[in-house]
């Protein structure tokens, strides 16, 4: 290995030591970035620290994050979340795992609106975790499913990560968006399949089934779903139609949830203030981590570690599938220190020519790399969804990572399936837009 890669290994060790010592996550990322720039580059770390913190948070698109989190807080602190679960309960009563599947369904639906892994994870966790715990469901399974299902926010279009990849690869954004739907559905089925299998193996850890419900009663209880379902449909509709941006959709979500809660007489001045303060705390936590990650990403760019790692793989002259296997390892390693967008931007110049030379479709590789980014979101030490849930639940990130391991393997299985059957990715864009590349 070259001197640059040894430098990357040293920075990773420093990060692990700081995290083990209980240093705040955002501070850990910033400290490692500072050390990397101060000792291994000729740039000024102070100047880059200020610019990174400002650039990472001064974003119109990022404004959607606190708004979506506020929407989740409103649903959580009023009766809306309880009413949603009551509406879903009779329909999921016969399925192994029952209401546990709402974490997967909720993340899939909300991910199509938010386009953000962090917003999806935080919002659905705020609504689902208290309800599932109150009803007696296994907390570890719920946390593990939320950590990984939250990543559906970047796989199910629209997705900022997909847009960044499309620009870097000079590929059609629409084709890549279309390519994400079937893998997203496949991943939801794999997650739900594991929940059902786990529930059959551990019947003592799943609340007993409710008595059979008549169809008329099911329909009556489903009336609780109508207000929130209409709100979600409206948000998705205006987004897909191009009438509103993701940030504007988030604002509609907040206004809609406030209106529904007020109409149902569950909105009070106290829970309004509690929801606002809860959203502020969670948003500040996420943005602080984003800022630290942005500074570390700038350090990685200055040191050239991602490019060096990609060139090292290129120099091996591997066969196509050996190349794919090596890239899986490379991106998993990078995912321990970088966010998904940075992984794509810093390696695309070297990796994309390798992929084209090996004969792989760039649209297919886009979904492949998004799935790897999803894995990075739940991979210690810098798994972003792990940090989000750590701050929301108070549990150690290693405990959350352990709970997510079975779902981690579902992600790996999904990658294997789209590699063996690439048509899962390419069939929808080919049908919708023809065979033209």
Give the phi and the psi of residue 96 in degrees, each rounded to 5.
Answer: -55, 125
The pLDDT of residue 437 is above 50: no
What per-residue confidence (pLDDT) applies to 21?
78
Rounded to 5°, angle at Cα 383 from 339 and 7: 65
Distance from C-alpha of 346 to C-alpha of 301, rounded to nearest angstrom: 7
Greatest mean pLDDT range, 190-199, 228-237, 343-352, 386-395: 190-199
What per-residue confidence (pLDDT) applies to 196?
92
What per-residue confidence (pLDDT) applies to 208?
78
Query: Are the beta carbons of 123 and 80 closer than 8 angstroms?
Result: no
Q: Which two structure tokens, joined as six digits, stand for 260?
A: 């529904």
What per-residue confidence (pLDDT) applies to 424?
92
Distance from C-alpha of 149 to C-alpha of 143, rounded to nearest angstrom: 10
Q: What is the mean pLDDT of residues 57-83?
A: 72
What per-residue confidence (pLDDT) applies to 115?
60
Percent of the chain with pLDDT over 70: 86
Reported as a pLDDT band with limits 50, 70 and 90, residue 413 is very high
> Which residues 6+ apart lie within 8 Å of 402 measured at CB?
none
Q: Which two structure tokens, joined as six digits, stand for 317?
A: 């002259």
User: Where is average pLDDT lowest: 48-57, 119-128, 131-140, 216-225?
Assistant: 216-225
Closest C-alpha to 253, from 241, 267, 272, 238: 238
pLDDT, tens digit, 9 for 90 and up, residues 233-259: 787 677 667 787 767 877 888 888 888
pLDDT, tens digit, 9 for 90 and up, residues 279-312: 888 778 777 877 887 788 788 778 877 777 777 7
Give the 3-state DSSP-derived string for 253-312, with helices as H, strands as E and coil as C.
Answer: HHHHHHHHHHHCCCCCHHHHHHHHHHHHHHHHHHHHHHHHHHHHHHHHHHHCHHHHHHHH
Greatest mean pLDDT range, 27-41, 86-100, 158-172, 189-203: 189-203
More confident residue, 429 or 169: 429
Distance from C-alpha of 287 to C-alpha of 83, rounded to nearest angstrom: 31
Rounded to 5°, angle at Cα 369 from 389 and 16: 45
């Amino acid at each position: 290995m070259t001197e640059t890669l040894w430098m990357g290994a040293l920075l990773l060790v420093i990060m692990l030591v700081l995290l083990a010592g209980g240093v705040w996550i955002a501070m850990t990322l910033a400290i490692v970035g500072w050390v990397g720039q101060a000792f291994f580059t000729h740039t000024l770390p102070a100047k880059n620290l200020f610019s990174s913190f400002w650039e990472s948070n001064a974003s119109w698109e990022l404004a959607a994050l606190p708004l979506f989190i506020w929407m989740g807080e409103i649903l959580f602190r009023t009766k809306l979340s309880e009413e949603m679960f009551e509406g879903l309960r009779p329909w999921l009563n016969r399925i192994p795992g029952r209401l546990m599947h709402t974490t997967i369904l909720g993340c899939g639906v909300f991910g199509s609106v938010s386009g953000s892994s962090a917003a999806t994870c935080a919002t659905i966790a705020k609504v689902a975790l208290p309800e599932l715990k109150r009803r007696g469901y296994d907390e570890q399974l719920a946390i593990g499913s939320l950590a990984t299902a939250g990543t559906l926010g970047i796989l199910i279009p629209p997705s900022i990560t997909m847009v960044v990849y499309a620009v870097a690869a000079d590929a059609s954004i629409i084709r890549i968006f279309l390519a994400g739907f079937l893998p997203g559905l496949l991943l939801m089925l794999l997650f739900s399949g594991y929940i059902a299998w786990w529930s059959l193996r551990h019947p003592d850890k799943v609340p007993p089934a409710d008595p059979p419900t008549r169809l008329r009663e099911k329909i009556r209880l489903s009336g609780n779903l109508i207000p929130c379902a209409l709100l979600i449909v409206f948000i998705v509709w205006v987004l897909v139609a191009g009438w509103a941006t993701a940030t504007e959709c988030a604002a509609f979500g907040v206004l809609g949830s406030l209106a529904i809660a007020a109409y149902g007489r569950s909105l009070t001045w106290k829970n309004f203030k509690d929801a606002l303060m809860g959203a502020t705390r969670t948003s500040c936590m996420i943005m602080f981590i984003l800022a630290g990650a942005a500074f570390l990403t700038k350090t990685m760019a200055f040191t050239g570690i991602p490019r060096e790692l990609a060139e090292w793989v290129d120099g091996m002259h591997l066969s196509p599938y050996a190349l794919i296997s090596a890239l899986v390892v490379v991106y998993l390693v990078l995912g321990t220190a970088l966010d998904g967008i940075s992984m794509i931007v810093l390696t695309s110049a070297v990796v994309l020519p390798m992929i084209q030379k090996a004969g792989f479709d760039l649209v297919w590789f886009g979904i492949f790399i998004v799935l790897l980014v999803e894995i990075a979101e739940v991979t210690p030490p810098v798994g972003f969804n792990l940090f989000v849930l750590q701050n929301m639940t108070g549990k150690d990130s290693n405990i959350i990572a352990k709970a997510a391991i079975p779902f981690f393997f579902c992600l790996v299985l999904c990658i294997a399936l789209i590699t063996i059957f690439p048509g899962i990715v390419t069939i929808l864009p080919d049908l919708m837009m023809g065979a033209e590349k």
